[in-house]
Chain A
Amino acid sequence: MAAGPYNYSYIFKYIIIGDMGVGKSCLLHQFTEKKFMADCPHTIGVEFGTRIIEVAGQKIKLQIWDTAGQERFRAVTRSYYRGAAGALMVYDITRRTTYNHLSSWLTDARNLTNPNTVIFLIGNKSDLDAQRDVTYDEAKQFAEENGLMFLECSAKTGENVEDAFLDTAKKIYKNIQDGSLDLNAAESGVQHKPSNGPRGANLGGESSGNKDPCSC
């Protein structure tokens, strides 16, 4: 975990959202541990994962916030969206209700993040094609209409999981390069770490900037 402090130049914050039981925690686990965790306990509140990846020769640390899916916890999970550079919005291809709820998740994602936040739609459980309840084409169309990136994945087999997380990072990185994502803007969800810079700058920084930790 606390990997060497200076061996990455960016930190991107991601959130994973979607209905309960769609496999959010399993996707995270597959991405960070390259393993499928059957019987993965349901997330209460928020859980965290991290992995360092490389995009265009730059090391980027992904800080991933995995949220609880039950409707009842929306009041809580909404507070986690702040300062996310990427949002992975997940549904289960074998349960149409989880797909039908996407517009509500999307509304939250749009309202609670900044306009540059990259939203990636994931249709999980692609290994269960026989039980499919949502076609690839309709989800693809939904993604296009809403300007989302899209892939069907399987947390179980690992299919496309890597791509979903990496493509999101590439898009964020591209936004930084072409200037559409302002790193200095509050809540950009991205921290730039100059090679020998100090640690501990704020994600989605509120106010406490470079205060000495023992000043108050």
Chain B
Amino acid sequence: MAYKQSDPALKLKVDLKPFEEGLEDWDVSPEPDNSTGKVASFLQNTGLLETLQSTVFNVSKVFNYNKKQVEDNTSRERRPLTDAEFREYLDSVGNLTRDTEFRMHVYQNGVEHSLRKVVWKHLLNVFPREFNGKKRFDYLTKKKEEYSKIRDEWKRLLDSDNCSENVKLVANMVRKDTLRTDRGHPLFSDDSSENVIRLFNLLVTYALTHPSLSYCQGMSDLASPLLLVLEDEAHAYICFCSLMRRLSQNFDLKGLVLNKKFEHLQLLLRRKDPEFFSYLKYQNADDLLFCYRWVLLELKREFPLDNVLTLLEVMWASIPPDYPNMMLGIRLSDLDYEKSSLYMKQANIKKNVLNTAYKKLKRKKLECQDIDGCRSMVEDVKAEEVVPKLPAPDEFGCENPFLLFLCLALLLQQKDVIIKKRMDYNEIAMHYDKFIRSNDVDSVLERARLEYSAYLREQQNGSKKV
């Protein structure tokens, strides 16, 4: 296998303990403080609403959305953020002071490819807020050293005779998946190509430094764009850790957060296009399970790898900045996955916080059925008619509301053909799957931005009334 340490002379017996103690001061960043109203206040600060209204569309059009409009918007030129423009958001010592405007710019226009290496680290909240250019550079240098040390350590361990079963298991799982990730892309096409090896290294290191989560299928898809853009294994690892601060909840064993995201997506479709939702319901496809990969991987597999980079940065820019309170700790843990309950605790907290009117409505339906079968049917019909309001941005989509609108755009793109051909569940799922890695980024982004701004308008009007 291409991954193995080639020189047998390097095989050493390694005790992990002393290393772990030596890194006491580098603790893993805790969950960031998610104070209420974060997304809402971010949106107000960015002036996202106003900008959207003034530059792209007028609101009346938004509600009477039609194809012509998408074409109009698609033809509107969007110029990706340039280096010179990016510098305007920094102060004299290189501190990103105008961060909300910076995000707004990226949300609207994306980023020039050569600049992504720099900008993505900001979009992914790699650095603590007060870091200037010099501090960022030193930080990356230090973290890169730490990363390399850890990586070399487990590599030696893996080649030694006393390698634990856990480490072997993780390495085998990751190897299997890295060898089947983005193989169609020239930079990942060869078993021994540099990027395939980097992807393997990054993911094993992540799994061993995050034992409560370890390796989950799907992570290789989330990491490969980072490697492609950053062209540096350690930097990609640091960005991946930041990304996973937000996305680890997707991999919760009970799927609580993912269920919530699906509930929200169903609700969105039901409100935006009741006709299509009814059709899917009739085909028993209103569970939208065929969108599972879209939501889990935040659409990474749905577009050509080179084009999905734009979608990712636009989506990340739509999320409020979430600076880490502490610097990233990189250390190998006790390699015992079963004992750690940290992850489940987080999931439980989320579960309590996220309790929507939609869920209450469902409960009401159940109660009705308990009392009287006949009446429950009437209640059911009534419940169907009252489509609950969409949750506020802070709750909607569990920290990434814009993703739901991207999914909505993908869903609606195929509505006409699905209804016309009277597709059943499997046909619908297979139809959407035909567009894997080949959807058009620009049109999906345009439509999603349009629908998202309409939603934000509604939310703003709603809160004014209150």
Residues of B within 8 A of A (CB): 173, 176-177, 179-181, 183, 216-218, 220-221, 251, 253-255, 258, 275, 278-279, 281-284, 287, 289-290, 292-293, 296-297, 301, 381, 384, 421-427, 429-431, 433-434
Contacts and interface: CB of A to CB of B under 8 A. Distances in A.
B430 A1 contact: yes
Interface string A33-54: 0000001111011111110000
A208 B284 contact: yes
Contacts of A175: none
Contact of B176 (A42, A199, A213): A42
Interface stretch (A71-79, A121-129, A145-153): A71-79
B217 A73 contact: yes
A45 B293 contact: yes
Interface of A: 1-2, 5, 20-21, 39-42, 44-50, 63, 68-70, 72-73, 75-76, 79-80, 199-200, 202-206, 208, 211-216
Nearest to B282: A213
Contact of B179 (A2, A39, A75, A211): A39
A1 B431 contact: yes
Q: Is the interface of A mostly helix, strand, loop or mixed?
A: loop
A1 B217 contact: no
17 contacts: A5-B422, A20-B176, A21-B173, A21-B176, A39-B179, A40-B180, A44-B292, A48-B433, A50-B426, A63-B426, A70-B217, A75-B255, A199-B422, A202-B283, A203-B425, A208-B284, A215-B278
B210 to A, nearest CB: 13
Contacts of B425: 63, 203
Contacts of B251: 72
Contacts, number: 107
A169 to B, nearest CB: 16
B335 to A, nearest CB: 17
Nearest to A201: B424
Contact of B284 (A49, A79, A206): A206
B169 to A, nearest CB: 9
A75 B347 CA distance: 14
A34 B279 CA distance: 33
Given A45-B289, A48-B430, A205 B284 contact: yes
A48 B258 CA distance: 21
B430 A72 contact: no
Nearest to B216: A72
Contacts of B216: 70, 72
A123 to B, nearest CB: 18
